């Protein structure tokens, strides 16, 4: 079976596709993978120009023609009824991955390169699986990967396409640090990174990551009796301003997440925003939102989720004297930005 073929495309030239592939290949090789890199969608190549020896060999009927030196080789060929990409993939079936620079018209998976100074508007062609870009806060429906983070790009490709290939690699690292972090029996996408090889819990080492902008937004709900909500909005609770205290509690919780969640990192948070949306009805509820920002080496999803949780618990504490039936529910991550996994947004709130 031919290996996965992934195309690196852009709306124009000079976006750095060649450089990205040049940096990506060593990352993949470190994982023990066999990788081919092709230049795609050319009208011709010098090796196969009419009159050249290789052209003459091919015209004579050779299935494969090419050239060799003492330490390298170049091969060309074709297969009736197949495109160049299809023929190459079939010929290279013993490899783990084929990367192709170019060919926007292919039906194969595509990773699009976006540069703020050259082509800031993404094409988002059919079968685009990710964007590689230097733009921040680019909101699209596919993962967004920092153009300089070649490790993150390799991690993404491995998690999406190479689970089986990585299992075949005997003793080699898989997706970078993830092989060291996985617990016994964990394989492929979704492996838990907070366990070492012996299955013991550990804090993930992020010292090798770049300092980048990170952001996360989480939401949750607390349901209550309509009378309780009315007293909250009127400010008539005995303990005082319920939402004001809950807002302070959320900010404090965000800053203390590294002390509350065992494997979370202590972080220098740069910003916290808290919003409350009282919703009247039967039962009534308050929707809580917490957005957290920082520039650092790890994400702030746990900080946002912790902020929502503690805000909801604070509302319960402030109001439990009059309504012990309140319920806290539906705490979830809505959006995250930055880091190796790029942009994420929950499809349904």
Q: What is the CATH number of domain 212-345?
A: 3.30.70.640
Domain positions in the chain are 5-169, 212-345
Q: Which of 83-87, 188-192, 273-277 has the lowest mean pLDDT?
A: 188-192
Pairing relationship of beta strands 144-146 and 64-69 according to DSSP bridges: unpaired
Q: What distance in Å separates the CA atoms of residue 214 and residue 295, rounded to the nearest whole number?
A: 6
Please give the mean pLDDT across all residues of the chain.
82
Pairing relationship of beta strands 64-69 and 5-9 according to DSSP bridges: unpaired
Percentage of residues in the chain having pLDDT higher than 70:
82
Task: List active site positions.
Answer: 317
Q: Are 175 and 188 in contact (CB under 8 A)?
A: no
Q: Which of 23-32, 140-149, 155-164 has the lowest mean pLDDT?
A: 155-164
> The whole model's pTM is what?
0.48
Name the pLDDT band for 200 (thresholds 50, 70, 90). low
pLDDT digits (tens, 9 = 90+) for 247-301: 999 999 999 999 998 888 888 999 999 999 999 888 899 999 999 999 888 889 9
Q: What CATH number does domain 5-169 carry, 3.40.718.10, 3.40.50.2300, 3.30.428.10, 3.40.50.300?
A: 3.40.50.300
Which parts of 48-185 fold into alpha helices (H)? 53-59, 84-91, 150-161, 163-168, 178-181
pLDDT at 161: 83
Of 171, 188, 316, 199, the closest CA to residue 246 belongs to 316
Q: What distance in Å separates the CA atoms of residue 346 and residue 349, rounded to the nearest whole number?
A: 6
Q: What distance in Å separates the CA atoms of residue 270 and residue 178, rounded to the nearest whole number?
A: 28
Q: What distance in Å separates the CA atoms of residue 297 and residue 334, rounded to the nearest whole number?
A: 21
Residue 169 has pLDDT above 90, yes or no: no
pLDDT at 184: 36
Query: Between 253 and 67, where is the model more confident?
Result: 253
Can you list the positions of beta strands (E) in 176-250?
Answer: 212-224
Mean pLDDT, rounded, for 189-207 = 57
Q: Are 218 and 290 in contact (CB under 8 A)?
A: yes
pLDDT at 172: 41
pLDDT at 339: 76
Q: What distance in Å separates the CA atoms of residue 78 and residue 237, rounded to the nearest whole number?
A: 79
Can you list the positions of beta strands (E) in 225-253?
Answer: none
């Amino acid at each position: 079976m031919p290996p996965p073929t992934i195309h690196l495309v852009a709306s124009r030239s000079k976006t750095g596709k060649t450089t990205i592939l040049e940096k990506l290949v060593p990352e993949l090789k470190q994982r023990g993978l066999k990788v081919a890199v092709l230049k795609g969608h050319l009208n011709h190549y010098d090796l196969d120009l009419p009159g050249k020896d290789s052209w003459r060999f091919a015209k004579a009927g050779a299935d494969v023609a090419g050239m060799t030196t003492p330490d390298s080789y170049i091969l060309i060929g074709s297969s009736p009824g197949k495109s160049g990409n299809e023929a190459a993939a079939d010929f290279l079936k013993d490899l783990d991955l084929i990367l192709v620079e170019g060919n926007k018209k292919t039906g194969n998976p595509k990773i699009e390169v976006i540069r703020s100074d050259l082509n800031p508007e993404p094409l988002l062609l059919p079968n685009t699986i990710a964007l590689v870009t230097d733009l921040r806060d680019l909101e699209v429906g596919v993962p967004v990967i920092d153009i300089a983070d070649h490790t993150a790009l390799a991690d993404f490709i491995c998690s999406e396409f190479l689970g089986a290939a990585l299992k075949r690699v005997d003793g080699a690292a898989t997706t970078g640090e993830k092989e060291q972090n996985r617990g016994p029996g964990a394989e492929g996408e979704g492996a838990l990174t907070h366990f070492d090889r012996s299955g013991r819990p550990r804090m993930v080492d992020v010292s090798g990551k770049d300092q980048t902008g990170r952001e996360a937004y989480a939401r949750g709900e607390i349901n209550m009796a309509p009378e309780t909500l009315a007293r909250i909005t009127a400010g008539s609770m005995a303990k005082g301003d319920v939402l004001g205290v809950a807002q302070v509690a959320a900010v404090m919780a965000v800053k203390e997440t590294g002390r509350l969640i065992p494997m979370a990192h202590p972080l220098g948070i740069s910003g916290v925003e808290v919003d409350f949306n009282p919703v009247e009805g039967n039962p009534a509820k308050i929707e809580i939102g917490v957005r957290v920002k920082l520039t650092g080496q790890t994400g702030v999803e746990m900080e946002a989720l912790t902020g929502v949780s503690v805000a909801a618990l604070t509302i319960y504490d402030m109001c439990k004297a009059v309504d012990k039936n309140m319920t806290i529910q539906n705490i979830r991550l809505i959006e995250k930005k930055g880091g190796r996994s790029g942009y994420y947004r929950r499809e349904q709130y």
